[in-house]
Amino acid sequence: MTRTREETCDMDDMILKVNHLSKSFGSHKVLKDIDFTVKKGDVTSIIGASGSGKSTLLRCINLLEIPTSGEVSFHGENILSRKGGAAAYRTKVGMVFQSFNLFSNMTVLENCMVGQTKVLKKNPEEAKEVAMKYLQKVGMAPYINARPRQLSGGQKQRVAIARALAMNPEVLLFDEPTSALDPEMVGEVLSVMRELAQEGLTMLVVTHEMAFARDVSNHVVFMRDGVIWEEGTPQEIFVNPQKEETREFLSRFMER
Ligand code: ADP
Ligand code: MG
């Protein structure tokens, strides 16, 4: 008998659990009975066609959408009933967006400090030290006084990643972090993400970068029409997919 991921997972290692999650907008069922788990150290890639519900799933996990039914739990606790509300939860489960979402009226350094001082209540000296550490890590330390509008897309996204890391999250969610970038800037962002994965950061990444999904993640989820159509290791999904639709999606994708 093969055991499911969940059965082979030590409870202490289980960070996020998505349980019978459904989400509708009006009569449109966008997510239908989604179940999956994120364990400590997992790098999960979510792939699938546009409109399949990937962003809505990530948004439910980040409390940007409220599920119609089912739940998301973080260390066994429903995220809707956790103490401290959304702001406290999002320090643990951070998110990086396709469109960067930096604060345009703040410098690079201020962007990476504000959450630490406002939400984590750190003093400015400590917040600055942590911000500098992560800005160095993503290669953006020389730009601390720049405003977002002065940066390229790749630079903005690296600042957004540093800002998320400065909150010391347990999990980082990425929603197509390279989709808004000019092609020549995709690599610099992916290489930062690859490094984070190698250091053991738990990541959940919606992406069309199939090479990243195949080479960096340990778990791949293929979504179609609001359901998890197939999931498995990169080997299982990319080399030996079981479902016709998975095969079709991948071959259509590779053609482009
Ligand atoms: P993906 O990220 O896979 O492209 P989304 O989760 O963004 O898919 O969207 C899935 C479906 O849900 C789409 O048909 C989209 O139009 C719809 N949708 C997403 N957000 C909303 C919303 N706030 N109101 C109504 N429909 C929405
Ligand atoms: Mg999307």
Q: Using a 6 Å cutoff on CB, does residue 200 contact ligand 1?
A: no
Q: Which pLDDT value is given to residue 13?
A: 87
Global pTM reads: 0.95
* Mean pLDDT score, 41-59: 98
List, in sequence order, the alpha helices (H) in the chain.
54-61, 85-92, 108-118, 124-137, 153-165, 183-198, 210-215, 234, 244-255
The ligand placed nearest to the CA atom of residue 28 is 1
For residue 50, report the distance from its CA to the centre of ligand 2, in Å. Answer: 6
| Residue 17 token pair | 């659990």
* Mean pLDDT score, 184-209: 97
The span from the CA of 66 to the CA of 56, in Å, is 10
What is residue 229's three-state secondary structure? strand
pLDDT digits (tens, 9 = 90+) for 65-83: 999 999 999 999 999 999 8
Ligand 1: which atom is nearest the Cα of residue 175?
2
For residue 142, report the distance from its CA to the centre of ligand 2, in Å. Answer: 32
* Residue 19 CB partners (closer than 8 Å, separation 6+): 35, 70, 71, 72, 73
Residue 97 has pLDDT above 90, yes or no: yes
For the range 115-118, what are the long-range contacts, defined as Cβ-Cβ under 8 Å and sequence gap of 24 or more?
A: 115/91, 115/163, 115/166, 115/167, 116/166, 116/167
Residues with CB under 5 A from ligand 2 (ion): 55
For residue 229, report the distance from its CA to the centre of ligand 1, in Å. Answer: 17
Neighbours of 27 (CB within 10 A): 5
